[in-house]
A and B are shown apart, each in its own frame.
Chain A
Amino acid sequence: MSEHVRLPEGSIEKQTTTLNLGPTHPATHGVFQNIIELDGERIVDATSTVGYIHRAFEKLAERRPLYQITTLTDRLNYCSSPINNMGWHLTCEKLLGVRTPKRVDYLRIIIMELARISDHLICNSIVGVDTGAYTGFLYVMQYRELIYEIYEEVCGSRLTTNIGRIGGFERNFNNTAFEKLEKFLREYPKVLKEFENLFNRNRIFMERTIGVGPISAERALNYGFTGPNLRAAGVDYDVRVHTPYSSYEDFEFTIPVGSTGDCYDRFLVRNQEMWQSLKIIADAYKRVQEFKGSDAEVYHADVPEYYLPPKADVYTKMEALIWHFKIVMGETEIPAGEVYHSVEGGNGELGFYLISDGGRTPYRLHFRRPCFIYYQAYPEITKGSMLSDAIVTLSSLNLIAGEMDA
């Protein structure tokens, strides 16, 4: 399709130029290549090449016990690893029939919504950077840092979090985590408002994004769009509402939708989702605080086959020692079954299709990676636009190379 058009010598017709955007170009924000055919500054055609950081996660997962796969999910959409981790735990829990206590669900929601904020925060501020506004990016980065500090208090790491376990969390949230969460809830609305003031009605920003990279609802559905990109096109599909998991049904929130599916709508939808996430977090935190006494100490379900016992018990109790050994060595048989579970990830429906034949590792595991699926639409939505618009479209689609290439 994208053939370089070479006209005979002396022709007065315009020749097209082939431009390699990527695989390692600062404007692509990730490792993927676009071979763009340009007529002047207009894009005639684009071909995408992906797979530069393919790490064969699905194959690796076939030799790993369930708990070791969590670290693979970290590396899918690494801007919101906790959502991937939770999605994976929820898939396992669905297969194993584990019921988690309400407090665990609410704590998970707090973490997942924080992850969503940090994901949208990065995406939107990068859209800002690509339209020439660096300030917003540097400013909101402090609050992503604060979110990462909360992760650190909960699980000890920041980017590839490996947060939570099958059944709940590895430890209870400490007071510092809650203090930092309170600080976030107190300070972030003001920052988000300022961020919006900087962009939403900014003439330059609007001219750079309105009508850029639009997609109709019909095409978006046909292309398998999910998440904010689909909602920006006007379809109110959100996994949190359609197939509630982790007690999302207990919370009131709205699904923001756009109408044109262009970069500006995607930006606004993400911003609105951050407000909704803040609301959910505040609500979930209030509910968590309502647990008193021994209820406030609940942070995991009682699943000895999959949840590591406390270390002190391992040294003193026979049963705990056995479970500890079996879990660490991956010697627990997974019940046979076939399960599909999806969560609303940072950029769309993140699905896990897990088939177990009764062995110790999955027989087959497939990740439905939202951005792998919707990135196919990129040539279609950039065709005919300017090169600089294609860059903004790329960042506003929130493509994460790690997720695309699995």
Chain B
Amino acid sequence: MSLTNEYIRERLIEKFGEEVSGFEEPFGMLTFEVPKQNNLKVLQFLYDDPALKFQFLTDLQAVHYPNNKGREIAVVYHLHNLTDNVRIRLKIYTDVEVPDVYTATQLYASANWMERETYDFFGVNFVGHPNLKRILNVDEMDYFPMRKEFPLEEQTRVDKDDEMFGRGGSVN
């Protein structure tokens, strides 16, 4: 029997009941949400279960939704079952004020740098991470640049004295 999204959903609800929610299937990929304190339990279950076997962490990253009060930052895990070739997406939401999330490094060695990258850009504090330091940005940086409060420069701005790029330019 091949692994279907319905079956995965049933197994998850059977095991975790109300804890797993928000099931969707955008472009065929089963997507669901888990409370952040339970992320490891669910990941471990998905990893260990002989039928599910989601043992490959494809990707881990965060998304910032500044208007979602109390759940501003979403951490998104893309998992892959290589035997049955099924992918799923697991999301956890965290408050931007207390962005503590348990680390998945014990389960997946690959999560190490992916979590460091997520910390670097979004400030998600992965509790229990062996080496949670900035990875792509300089160590001295004191903000998390991928958050939405740091917009890129407005391309139509005119106040900039920058003759080279034809924006505004000095008149005197």
Chain A residues in the interface with B (C-beta under 8 A): 50-51, 54, 56, 58-60, 62-63, 94-95, 219, 221-224, 235, 237, 242-243, 337-340, 342, 349, 351, 353, 355, 363-364, 366, 368, 372-377, 405-406
Contact of A51 with B136 at beta-carbon distance under 8 Å, contacts A60-B152, A94-B27, A368-B58 already known:
yes
Chain B residues in the interface with A (C-beta under 8 A): 26-27, 29, 31, 55-59, 61, 63-64, 76, 78, 82, 85, 87, 89, 108-110, 112-114, 117, 121, 134-138, 145-146, 150-152, 155
- Cα A377 to Cα B26 with chains together (Å): 33
Q: Is the CB of A222 within 8 A of B110?
A: yes
**Nearest B residue to A225 by beta-carbon distance?**
B110
A305 to chain B, nearest CB (A): 19
- Cα A351 to Cα B135 with chains together (Å): 20
- Cα A59 to Cα B55 with chains together (Å): 30
Q: Is the CB of B82 within 8 A of A235?
A: yes
Query: What are the 6 tightest A-B residue pairs by CB atom distance, in nearest-first order?
Result: A224-B110, A51-B136, A54-B136, A368-B59, A366-B61, A63-B152
- Cα A235 to Cα B55 with chains together (Å): 13
Contacts of B85 on A, CB cut-off 8 Å?
242-243
Q: Is the CB of A221 within 8 A of B56?
A: yes
Option from B29, B63, B78, B146 in Cβ contact (under 8 Å) with A59:
B146
Q: Is the CB of A373 within 8 A of B89?
A: no
Known A51-B138, A340-B87, A376-B110; further 7 A-B contacts with Cβ < 8 A: A50-B135, A51-B136, A51-B137, A60-B152, A222-B109, A224-B110, A242-B85
Option from A50, A237, A339 in Cβ contact (under 8 Å) with B27:
A339
Contacts of B145 on A, CB cut-off 8 Å?
56, 59
**Nearest A residue to B114 by beta-carbon distance?**
A373
- Cα A353 to Cα B82 with chains together (Å): 19
- Cα A406 to Cα B136 with chains together (Å): 9
Option from B59, B63, B137 in Cβ contact (under 8 Å) with A364:
B63
**Nearest A residue to B110 by beta-carbon distance?**
A224
- Cα A370 to Cα B117 with chains together (Å): 14
B163 to chain A, nearest CB (A): 23
Contacts of A224 on B, CB cut-off 8 Å?
56-58, 108-110, 114
Q: Is the CB of A366 within 8 A of B136?
A: no
Most chain A C-beta atoms within 10 Å of own C-beta, residue among B27, B87, B136: B136
Option from A58, A63, A221, A363 in Cβ contact (under 8 Å) with B55:
A221
Contacts of B27 on A, CB cut-off 8 Å?
94-95, 337-340
B139 to chain A, nearest CB (A): 10
Contacts of B29 on A, CB cut-off 8 Å?
340
Q: Is the CB of A351 within 8 A of B58?
A: yes
Q: Is the CB of B87 within 8 A of A58?
A: no
Q: Is the CB of B110 within 8 A of A223?
A: yes
- Cα A54 to Cα B117 with chains together (Å): 12
- Cα A59 to Cα B122 with chains together (Å): 12
Q: Is the CB of A339 within 8 A of B110?
A: no
B128 to chain A, nearest CB (A): 17
- Cα A109 to Cα B63 with chains together (Å): 33
Contacts of B112 on A, CB cut-off 8 Å?
376
- Cα A291 to Cα B63 with chains together (Å): 45
- Cα A63 to Cα B112 with chains together (Å): 29
Q: Is the CB of B136 within 8 A of A50?
A: yes
Contact of A353 with B76 at beta-carbon distance under 8 Å, contacts A63-B155, A224-B57 already known:
yes
Contact of A58 with B26 at beta-carbon distance under 8 Å, contacts A222-B110, A349-B58, A364-B63 already known:
no
**Nearest A residue to B150 by beta-carbon distance?**
A59
- Cα A193 to Cα B46 with chains together (Å): 45
B87 to chain A, nearest CB (A): 7
A382 to chain B, nearest CB (A): 15
Q: Is the CB of A373 within 8 A of B113?
A: yes
Q: Is the CB of B26 within 8 A of A337?
A: yes
Contacts of B121 on A, CB cut-off 8 Å?
58
B151 to chain A, nearest CB (A): 8
Q: Is the CB of A376 within 8 A of B61?
A: no
Contacts of B117 on A, CB cut-off 8 Å?
372
- Cα A94 to Cα B28 with chains together (Å): 11
- Cα A353 to Cα B89 with chains together (Å): 11
Contacts of B63 on A, CB cut-off 8 Å?
355, 363-364
A384 to chain B, nearest CB (A): 18
Most chain B C-beta atoms within 10 Å of own C-beta, residue among A51, A54, A406: A51
Most chain B C-beta atoms within 10 Å of own C-beta, residue among A95, A338, A339, A375: A338
- Cα A235 to Cα B113 with chains together (Å): 23
Contacts of B136 on A, CB cut-off 8 Å?
50-51, 54, 405-406
Contacts of A56 on B, CB cut-off 8 Å?
145
**Nearest A residue to B63 by beta-carbon distance?**
A364
Contacts of A355 on B, CB cut-off 8 Å?
63
Option from A235, A243, A338, A351 in Cβ contact (under 8 Å) with B59:
A351
A311 to chain B, nearest CB (A): 24
A109 to chain B, nearest CB (A): 21
A88 to chain B, nearest CB (A): 16
Contact of A351 with B152 at beta-carbon distance under 8 Å, contacts A54-B136, A243-B85 already known:
no
Contacts of A373 on B, CB cut-off 8 Å?
110, 113-114
- Cα A374 to Cα B59 with chains together (Å): 12
**Nearest B residue to A330 by beta-carbon distance?**
B155
B141 to chain A, nearest CB (A): 11
Query: 22 A-B Cβ contacts within 8 A?
Result: A50-B136, A51-B135, A51-B138, A54-B137, A58-B146, A59-B145, A59-B150, A94-B27, A224-B56, A224-B58, A243-B85, A337-B26, A338-B31, A340-B78, A340-B87, A353-B59, A353-B76, A353-B78, A355-B63, A366-B61, A373-B114, A376-B110
